[in-house]
Structure 1
Amino acid sequence: MRYPTSTDDELEAAIEAASLAVRKGELVVFPTDTVYGIAADAFDADAVQRLLDAKGRGRSMPPPVLVSASTTLDALAVNVPGWARALVAEFWPGPLTLVFHQQTSLQWDLGETRGTVAIRMPDDEIALAVLERTGPLAVSSANITGRRAALDAGAAETMLGEKVSVIIDGGTTAGSDPSTIIDATGDQGRVLRPGALTLEELNGVLEPLGATLTDEG
């Protein structure tokens, strides 16, 4: 079902419907600061598998995890380098995804992660409101793999409507570029996927600390 958000009451109903659907193990779609995302409870392995199936995506491409606060980082990741914390402080919430070694105690199955987890805090009021009620969500772009990511609810509904329980219509997203993905599992950070944040912007924060990122491309 598609939920409008043009009034406060509509927004509350949409957020509550999405939160309830997530708790029931269902899939939901909502806007982020980059593109629309399709989301599942990160700790519900069956729901995460349904997310991958909905996109036509294999377990070799595990979804990132979105959080509502940077303080959640240490509950999900270990061995977080100081330079990565500097990027989090500067660019979260925002279009920055960081790949860390995951906490070994976490009871989840996101796919073939090889012991890592990609984490982001989006800069979008609707996304953050949902995350505050659900906790960490596995979220991928709302599209069929190989097709363009949805920038509005209509495009998401066309591709995924039969596979999700709730679509929150928040209008057209502010950005079309995906988040920049950084590998923070080694001694030096690497750009795994260029995106909304440039290498120059990121290194502008890190160079005063004596650190720099390399571009895998």
Structure 2
Amino acid sequence: MRTMAQVSMAALVAAVRTGNWLISFPTDTVPALASRCDRGELIYTAKERQPDKPLILMGANPEQLWPFVRGSAAEWEQWSAMAARYWPGAVTLVLPAAELPPGLNPLGTGTIGLRVPDWPPAQALLQQTGPLATTSINRSGQPPLIELGAIAREFPQVLTLHPWQLPPSPPQPSTVVQWQSGQWHILRQGRVQIEPP
């Protein structure tokens, strides 16, 4: 088995672009496990994750993510207002999906979770790779891994970013809010308190 390696930003970008590698990098919430957006099946295999748990699409800015959703003009106005208020930041928006790579949402529920992290190394990576399929780095059902040593033990096949710079605030999962039937519904309350516009 390949052992985990810490690599430079350029090497991490090159690796994930091939579609053959899983990578991990710190974000403003918990560290991410990520793949190219059309290779999400790699994440499900590594985490032993059930297919009824869709992945999150993470981007450097909203413009990278909007092509993956579709809705009416009135809905776009609501979504853009939420994005302007909470992105970049620890808020995941679950919106009606356009056509997606199967590995992002294996059961095809018609939605996609989107997030723009508020952490410069993550944004720099995503600016170069484009949107990535992401989730927390842990075995399914276990707490998210934070420290590099624990990640190396559990996921030796994953490439990680060097230097490994965690945000100063204690890592917490994002708040997850879904657009459904013309209004916002909080699915998970994280660090950010949501106040829908």
Q: TM-score, normalised by structure 2?
A: 0.87
Q: Give the match's secondary structure for 2:8.
A: helix
CA distance in 1, matches of 2:81, 2:117: 17
| Residue 93 of structure 2 is aligned to residue 90 of structure 1 | no
1:171 aligns with 2:174: no
Distance 1:176 1:112, change over 3 A: same
The answer on 1:55 being equivalent to 2:47 is yes
Task: Report if the CA contact (8 A) 2:23-2:33 is conserved.
Answer: yes
**What letter corresponds to residue 171 of structure 1 in structure 2?**
Q
CA root-mean-square deviation: 1.8
> What are the ranges of 5 or more consecutive residues in structure 1 without an aligned counterpart?
4-12, 207-217
Count of residue correspondences: 187
Contact 2:33 2:134 in 1 (8 A): yes
- CA contact 1:36–1:156 (8 Å) conserved in 2: no
Aligned-residue offset at 1:154: 2.0
Runs (4+) off by over 6 Å: none
Q: CA deviation at 1:135?
A: 0.8
Letter in 2 for 1:60: D
Give identity over the alignment, percent: 29
Between the aligned partners of 1:128 and 1:2, the Cα distance in structure 2 is 21
Cα drift, residue 107 of structure 1: 4.4
Residue 100 (structure 1) aligns with: 95
Paired residue type of 2:175: T
Is the CA contact 1:33–1:175 (under 8 Å) kept in the aligned structure 2? no
**Is the 1:153–1:172 contact (alpha carbons within 8 Å) kept by the matching residues of 2?**
no
Matched, 1:2 2:41: no
Alignment partner, residue 10 of structure 1: none
Distance 2:81 2:58 in 1: 18
Q: Please give the alpha-carbon distance, in whole angstroms, between the structure 1 residues aligned to 2:46 and 2:5.
A: 17
1:129-140, aligned counterparts within 5 Å?
129-140=124-135
Aligned to 2:14: 20
TM score, norm. by length of structure 1: 0.79
**Looking at both structures, which has the greater relative contact order when contacts are Cα pairs under 8 Å and sequence separation is at least 6?**
2
- Which residue pairs with 1:118 in the alignment? 113
Q: SS of the residue aligned with 2:155?
A: helix
- Give the C-alpha shift of residue 30 in structure 1: 0.5
Equivalent position SS for 1:172:
coil
In structure 1, give the amino acid aligned to 2:85: E
Give the superposition deviation at 1:81: 4.1
Instruction: Determine if the alignment matches structure 1 residue 146 to structure 2 residue 141.
Output: yes
Matching residue's letter, 1:49: E
